[in-house]
Amino acid sequence: MAARKRASATDTAKPEQEKPKSKTHQTESPIRPAKYPTIIKIFLIFSVPYFFLIFSYYRIEYELKRSILINLLVSFIGFLVTVSMIPVASKYVLRRNLFGYDINKKGTPDGSIKVPESLGIVVGIVFLVVTILFQYFNFTADSNWLVEYNAALASICFMILLGFVDDVLDVPWRVKLVLPSIAALPLLMAYAGHTTIIIPKPLVSYVGLEILDLGWIYKLYMGLLAVFCTNSINIHAGLNGLEVGQTVVIACAILIHNVMQIGASTDPEYTQAHAFSIYLIQPLLATSLALLSYNWYPSSVFVGDTYTYFAGMTMAVAGILGHFSETLLIFFAPQVLNFLLSLPQLAGIVPCPRHRLPRFDPQSGLLTGTNDGTLVNFFLRQFGRKTEKMLCISLLGFQWTNYTLEAQMYYRASSLEQKYAAIGINWGRQTAQKLVPSMVVDLILQNGIKHARVYSTQKDILEAFIGSGIDLSISIFGYPEVRTPETAKKWLQARTKFFDSCNISRVYIGNHVFKDGITNKTKLNMSMMALESVQNALNEAGYGRVKVTLPCPEGVLINITRPSEAEFRPEIKAEMVSTLRFLQANNAPFVVEIFPISHVIDNGWDVSFAFPDNKSTHVVTDINGAVYTNVFEFMHDAFAWALRKAGAPDIKIVVGQVGWPTDGYPGANVSTAERFYKHLLPYVVSNKGTPMRPGAPIDTYVHALTDENKMPFFYPFARHWGIYASNGEPKYKIDLTGQGRDIFPPKVKGIMRMPQRWCVFNGNLTDIVRVKNHFYFACTEADCTSLAYGGSCSRLNFVQNISFAFNMYFQSQFQSEDACQFNDLGKVTTEDPSTGTCIFPVEVVKGEIYESADGSRLGVEMPIPTIFLFFFQFSGHCFGIELLEN
């Protein structure tokens, strides 16, 4: 709706009756020149915050900023083209009698001027050309965004066409409600984003869900949003510059919202969605400003329903495919208010005239509000009579003020709102047969995991994560090599590609450096130097979003009888306080490690305390009425108390490792591991928090993705943390999304297994010493930890023990015939020797040779006497039995 009266049949005849104009007069433009000074002022007022955020406040990645700048450049070209085309198009629409008279100037000379109608068609066409050409600079042929981008343009193009049809045919308003629904079809059919909503915390207990998938209902909402946005611009009108002005204000608000979300996000997919919105809104803003230069008071052209439909649909599309369709309504709050005021008339409850405009007094030039239900009339009734220009400025100021106030409340609420805890996975590669990195990335994505830690910065591993969208943490174990600012910058320069293309959010320095620092201060001091050097190098290079930290196991604490009594060991407390200050200054988290099974056994507690299922017979009561029924909450709060005593009570705690082994320890098996994760992961995503930090999300990383049969730690179970065996087979049911579903994780795709062959002992006991020596050799080179006390193979007899060792070595050597010789003690068989709970594995075909580029997380090789510590006694006992029987 515009403040004009369309030409009648009488008006149509007038041009034919007029006298021919001179040639000079015919070449003159029929409209006033563009109002550049006014447009520049409006542009600066509303867009300066956007440019400040994008070019100064946030450190946005180079490639993304480059794309935004290219889009801005083509948008500026679109502005120039639109400014030059509007006078030309005005002549044509006047010839076709598409003009109107400005009702708000009736009774004055300006009220009798023919004002060209439907000039929104120029803006729409230029916008489409600009956005289509932009694809050449930003999208590749296989870009996933091309489908949605072009579907968005199809919906906008459809809406421009239908808007122009409305301008020509002047269709009834009830039909206008249907038009956006038709135009939105390409968008709805191509939409592949989420259809879920997050239930507000206070309502979770009533709804019974934290995340609700609305399915087709969500798409229905998107269709209704398109209907609302297009019509809301159309009915909040009636003043020169109001339709285009409100579009300019909302477009600037959307741009600011997008750049704030990009600046705060580390998720590439989320960032790309908001960048997508920018690519649509910048051309909309540029072409709208060109139109506003002619439509501002006193208006030289009318925009028509073509423009209002086009502008509303473009902003709806940007919100939907930018994944902030719910937030978009905040920017349309005045339009929502106008709709509510209009509802009685639109519904036919109150008589509704064709033009619900204020009354114009030609003597004073002031507008007076009527009883019609529009925001324009409401303003005049509340604040008194105004000129048309001042009323438009007041309404646009109200639009901007409303945005700033509501946005401030929204962003403040978002910062206070509990964010959902992340479930991540750790992936180590200390195995004889290594899964190919691309397979592992695919496996992580299949499991619905969006966060991962790798114990490396190896090139081929990081390349596999490019474009995956996985929030990645990497590890530096050669920290002496990055302890100075110069070496840290050199290290970063060699990996700039991955910080630009991978979604790296954290860098871990070393492994248990504070625990080692209890006895080795030199090592601890070097790691602290590396921490500061690498973080400072990242900050200076524009990667401040990446946080550097040091993982800490429970060994750094003392007095862990109750959480409130825990504190950091005095030997390292000074260094810990210094490190915490640095972490806080850089907004980096404090990373801890929790392994419940070893904790309960080491402390002599009932094993039920290890499971977070509220069935523990062991309960710990602490101060302030805190009650602990499981190790996870107990240890988390022990660290929280220690941090509080060290002067860092509010630092974020991330559980960098938590796991349950499936072998090599009493109680370590697939059934207990399944029970542990079945209760832990839903607890994590519930955001229940702990007694010390109720309601606080605890980002938690499952340790680990796969077993590592070459991990030379001092405990046999250290090789059996994986939810997958080292050959890629899932070991038990686990739902890594935290939904608690009773499902097995998906299998690795594209894996190649070795033939079903095993190497076993041939039973020749002639020379027992020779047999023992080959047994020791096999277990030194391969993984025999399943034979340890409490392991899955701890009940084998003597011959089976030797066969298991021989087979593990045979598999580690990729089933080489020579690897089953053992001085004629071994033989290859196709009959599976597995028995009971003891599995004789067949490994995968050799994948890659691992060469660390940044040190090793392993340290020195474990001596032979240590690796056999857990099963020497048992094996000797078996030897004795066999000898007595023979």
CA distances to 1, 5, 294, 382 from 391, in Å = 17, 20, 18, 12
Strand stretches in 704-837, DSSP E = 758-761, 826-829
**Residue boundaries of the structural domains of the chain:** 35-325, 423-719, 758-885
pLDDT tier, 538 (very low <50, low <70, confident <90, very high otherwise): very high
Taking the CA atoms of residue 707, residue 453, residue 511 and residue 666 in that order, the dihedral angle to the nearest 10 degrees is: -30
Tens of pLDDT, residue by residue over 17-48, are: 444 444 433 434 467 888 899 889 888 888 88
Tens of pLDDT, residue by residue over 597-654, are: 988 888 888 999 999 998 999 999 999 889 999 999 999 999 999 999 999 999 999 9
- Residue 487 scores a pLDDT above 70: yes
User: CA 122, CA 683: separation in Å to the nearest integer?
Assistant: 56
- Residue 234 scores a pLDDT above 50: yes
Is 662 within 8 Å of 668 (Cβ atoms)? Answer: yes
What's the pLDDT score for residue 10?
43
How far does Cα 327 stand from its chain's mean position? 17
Is 417 within 8 Å of 200 (Cβ atoms)? Answer: no
Tens of pLDDT, residue by residue over 552-571, are: 999 999 999 999 999 999 99
What's the pLDDT score for residue 140?
58
Structure tokens at 530: 């590396």
Amino acid letter at 271? T
Strand (E) or helix (H) holding 259: helix 242-264
- Residue 885 scores a pLDDT above 50: no
Calculate mean pLDDT across residues 139-167. 80
User: CA 566, CA 469: separation in Å to the nearest integer?
Assistant: 38
Among 324, 346, 373, residue whose Cα is nearest residue 225: 324
User: CA 36, CA 34: separation in Å to the nearest integer?
Assistant: 6
Among 806, 796, 747, residue whose Cα is nearest residue 771: 806
Bond into 712 cis (ω within 30): no
The burial class, CB within 10 Å (0-12 / 13-18 / 19+), for 278 is: buried
Tens of pLDDT, residue by residue over 365-403, are: 899 988 888 999 999 999 999 999 999 999 999 999 988
* CATH fold of the domain at 423-719: TIM Barrel (3.20.20)
Interior CA angle at 449 toward 448 and 452, to 5°? 160
Among 529, 521, 574, residue whose Cα is nearest residue 550: 529
User: CA 212, CA 209: separation in Å to the nearest integer?
Assistant: 6
The burial class, CB within 10 Å (0-12 / 13-18 / 19+), for 418 is: exposed
